[in-house]
Structure 1
């Protein structure tokens, strides 16, 4: 394994200044190096602290459950709901990050009944007690050298108990949960974009300076989103921008600085047209992008009016955070591991805000779905020993660049969240090496202490999805793409797909589903692509799809559908691609598809359809183009 000293003390001037300032002796630096050599003992201590943390969470959940039951007895149903919802059912293969608020959302109104105020007092008492337990555990983590877990727990402490003075003090140099945002109209013509005075706005939050030509409201909303990302990024990548010994010192009452503090610059254009027009001089291919971070100007550029690009905001803002905090080199991954720069930014696109706490990752993260489909479907997988050897030029000129980027997202999700976060610390260290310019093609296997071939196998296992996993499926509003093909999902798991109004692509191919699973998709009115190849789906399932009138692509290959289904399918007037390979359909059945004027591809290999039957249909559907 690569000792931590190889990574952190490579930032020699920065780290030595911190050590001298906070410890004032060379002996302490030597102790820090000795700690790096005692990694096994540290891991054992972390295991003990993890057990202690789990016990505290279990006790806390039991207390709140008891309080909720008491509320039900007293017919305080709203309070019972609030109490129960405070307990988060955690997916072990997903990150939960807390962003404290300055106000208490559970505070009763002044004229609330006495019994409600009594509930609130008991509720806050339970939260404060639990917060203190977490603080002591965080302190132990910091002393053991795990600043990341300690830093995250401190934020959770402040989330449960906003008045916890010691946690607030420890986080004082990182006001990540402040809600201060100012706004003012521009007072002079903008020197770069030519906007006249009072036709653009300047927004300032704790972490960002945003200039926008859209509206003050749009700028403020962007600031809120980016401040959230900023807090989450700092918690996940604490090892990148700060040092555990600094946090431990603050928790002892010292005044150590945790790391660089600066405000980041962002421009939000009025719309996409203005975005392209203004940035073409810097990047000729800007029209192909949805957001852009210009390192030379240390500024991120976005455009307003399209909520679908918010993940891209997080992606480009992540590049900005890595470049502007720490001692990042200008061009990362020149000789190896360039995949990681994009993979880690794509991972941050999975951020979901639940109003107080956020999640990252998860089996249902949007960009992970395509990596799963390609790997498990045998469409594409580049062995890790080949991928890590690709530098910037080698990857950007590779003929499979798009698929490599997709796989990069999958690999980062695996290293971040697989096996309950087993490789998370190693991945953050790999990112540090990348941005310091010290990464090598053998850095990943050395950090995880495993041959890359074994990581390849572990990644494939990570991609598997079981019915139990769907218990943690994101809320319907966050389901756009879901690739479950070639997993062990059955009707029992598919039941959790109910209410997926935003779902656009769903792959259930070669799973254990039957017609019953398809009945749960009745609300998926925006579904455009559905793949159920190789399943026990039959004619009854097609009847269940009647309301999905936006379907453009449907794969029914190797299913039990018959000619009877094709009458139903003839009503899907937006259908462009239909796969019926290895089914029992015949000429009589496909003749019913003559109403599908948008149909461009019909695949009927290994069916009862004859060349004459297909030709007859092609004569009625001029867009249908299938080689004979």
Structure 2
């Protein structure tokens, strides 16, 4: 079943209601600085430099791989050649980076093996340096998406490059890579346990033995109780467990263990979200700051309330949201909090609809809270362009781990399958110009809301992936203006045709071509 989202104004707050029926900080932007064709030409120049760098690197790797073949290391030779194949330009995956520094190459290897391993390490380190230098240059002229692609490739080749790691927010501590939050927790003598999350070092054994340290609130005197006693004490949400991580504060009366699981899941989602969206900076100072390797300033943690059951969830939120019983989760802009409750099917299907709801609402929260303004303003998408507000949240539901990477935009995800079916089989499509003119109220009260959400999902996939992400920058700029803290920009954002340099009719035609091509590719893949 598809999950449809219902967004309405309630008591002056924007809410997102999810009914079961089926900020990378975004930096302020006020204008389009150059024509789209100029930006594309500039991007192509930088891509050619990147391609030349990669071609030279691949040739050097091929020489090392040949040494491996000659000395009886065929598997290693194949892996080395694979390193010479760059990540696709349209890649929306992030690597899971190692925490530990790579060990030195052992001295007890055979001379032949040590020779090729030393040469490989040197080549990868040098390639990472060159990629980082190129990333700095393209950042300074505003090509941020390409810069992040270069950084991804650099950290893939050398995960211990200090400049690259600093760019991504890490710092070295002994033989590990850490973040300011991790360093702070370690200074407090806390350790990150797999089951219970961060605990004082001297509490770990007692937790493993079934004891729990209970405090009714921060600053209060705590006492040791049994796990069963703590569960009873925390049944009331006012005594909820608080699970703190780098970017999130999860409060839950379900269980400490589930709170830790959710916190870790959201941290991975946050990382992918900001690597995908946060690079689209507009001011020279902001670009220069990143180019010099300075870390982004951090904001307060994003707050999540996770209730043990639907009854607690409804009781807590009904005063603010009368329709709360039809929802499975929501982000409430008035509080800045995203709310969810535990659904038993999550235990059997951790990647099912309930989890997708969390990604959907977390997307609304990240976009809105990183661009929040205290001044009275229009609800985002209130009068027009509402399709992309929900479309991007539906798109982010596709977040998934594949091997050692996290990915977005799997064309087989249910939202995108439904979009192709609506377009190709049902012959359902509202021209983009008319769709973009619709605001929140018109879309949310439409009797065709499911079809509208399917189309919004398909269009978002198109703008994110068409021709190696050709329109992705324009889409993110469009979102940036819709969420702008400059009220004039928010109320009169540039349209997608204006940002791209085309017209709605052309985009409609390209969307149709894209839908047909995607279906043909998937059909051919299935027939193999």
Q: Which TM-score bucket, shorter chain as reference?
A: 0.7 to 0.9
Instruction: Give the one of 231, 235, 245 matched to 1:205.
Output: 245
Q: For 1:116 and 1:278, how far apart are their aligned partners in 2? A: 64
The offset of 1:160, in angstroms, is 3.0
The aligned residue for residue 277 of structure 2 is: 237
| 1:296 partner SS | coil
Three-state SS of the structure 1 residue aligned to 2:92 is strand
Q: 1:50 aligns with which of 43, 47, 52?
A: 47
What SS class does the counterpart of residue 211 from structure 1 fall into? strand
Distance 1:292 1:117, change over 3 A: farther
Could you tell me which residue of structure 1 aligns to residue 154 of structure 2?
A: 157
Deviation at 1:336, TM superposition (A): 0.3
CA contact 1:72–1:80 (8 Å) conserved in 2:
yes
Distance 2:257 2:58 in 1: 39
- The 4+ residue runs of structure 1 with deviation greater than 6 A are 108-112, 173-177
**Count of aligned positions:** 443
CA offsets, 1:67-109, max 9 Å, x none? 45544554446645654665667555542334533325x7599
Stretches of structure 1 lacking an aligned partner (at least 5 in a row):
1-6, 11-32, 467-483, 497-628
Equivalent residue for 2:525? 493
Q: Answer with 435-444 or 411-420: which moved more.
A: 435-444
Tell me, yes or no, if the aligned pair for 2:142 and 2:281 is still in contact at 8 Å: no
CA distance in 2, matches of 1:123, 1:301: 49
CA contact (8 A) 2:281 2:287 kept: no
CA spacing shift, 1:289–1:205, aligned 2, 3 Å: same
Partner of 2:228: none
Q: How does 1:135-174 map to 2 (within 5 A)?
A: 135-172=132-169
Instruction: Give the superposition deviation at 1:409.
Output: 0.8
Query: Which residue of 476, 483, 496 maps to 1:444?
Result: 496
Q: CA deviation at 1:215?
A: 3.3
The match for 1:248 is: 288
Q: How much does 1:207 deviate?
A: 1.0
Q: 1:426 aligns with which of 464, 471, 474?
A: 474
Find the aligned partners of 2:460 and 2:133 in 1 and give their Cα distance: 31
Question: 1: distance between equivalents of 2:464 and 2:269?
Answer: 17
Partner of 2:386: 338
Say what the alpha-carbon RMSD is for the aligned residues: 3.8
- Which 10-residue stretch deviates more, 369-378 or 115-124? 115-124
Q: Tell me, in whole angstroms, the C-alpha distance in 2 between the residues paired with 1:241 and 1:202.
A: 34
Of the candidates 439, 442, 446, which is equivalent to residue 398 of structure 1? 446
Q: Which structure: larger Rg?
A: 1
Distance 2:278 2:522 in 1: 36
Distance in 2, matches of 1:222 and 1:86, equals 33
Aligned to 1:187: 215
CA separation in 2, counterparts of 1:275 and 1:59? Answer: 58
Contact 1:188 1:197 in 2 (8 A): no
Q: CA deviation at 1:366?
A: 3.6
Query: Which one of 428, 440, 465 corresponds to residue 517 of structure 2?
Result: 465
Q: TM-score, normalised by structure 2?
A: 0.72
Q: Matches of residues 72-111 of structure 1 in structure 2 within 5 Å?
A: 73-76=70-73, 79-80=76-77, 83=80, 86=83, 90=87, 93-98=90-95, 100-103=97-100
- Alignment counterpart, residue 283 of structure 1, candidates 321, 342, 354: 321
Deviates more, 1:172-181 or 1:93-102: 172-181
- For the pair 1:270 / 2:308, whether they are aligned, the reply is yes
User: Do the aligned residues in 1 keep the contact of 2:478 with 2:494 (CA within 8 Å)?
Assistant: no
Q: In structure 1, what is the equivalent of residue 33 of structure 2? A: 36
Q: Counterparts of 2:326 and 2:88 in 1: how far apart (Å)?
A: 36
- 1:382 and 1:331 mapped to 2: Cα distance? 23
Mapping of residues 284-363 of structure 1, within 5 Å = 284-304=322-342, 306=346, 307=350, 308=352, 309-327=354-372, 331-354=379-402, 356-363=404-411
Higher mean C-alpha deviation, range 71-80 or range 203-212: 71-80
Q: Which residue of 2 aligns with 1:215?
A: 255
1:142, 1:245 within 8 Å by CA — same for their partners in 2? no
Residue aligned with 2:97, SS: coil
| Structure 2: runs of 5+ lacking an equivalent | 1-26, 183-191, 200-212, 221-232
* Distance 1:8-1:441 versus aligned 2 partners, 3 A rule: closer
The separation in 2 between residues aligned to 1:60 and 1:222, in whole angstroms, is: 40
**Partner secondary structure for residue 408 of structure 2:** strand
Q: Tell me what 2:5 maps to.
A: none
Question: Secondary structure at the residue paired with 1:267?
Answer: strand
Secondary structure of residue in 1 paired with 2:304:
strand
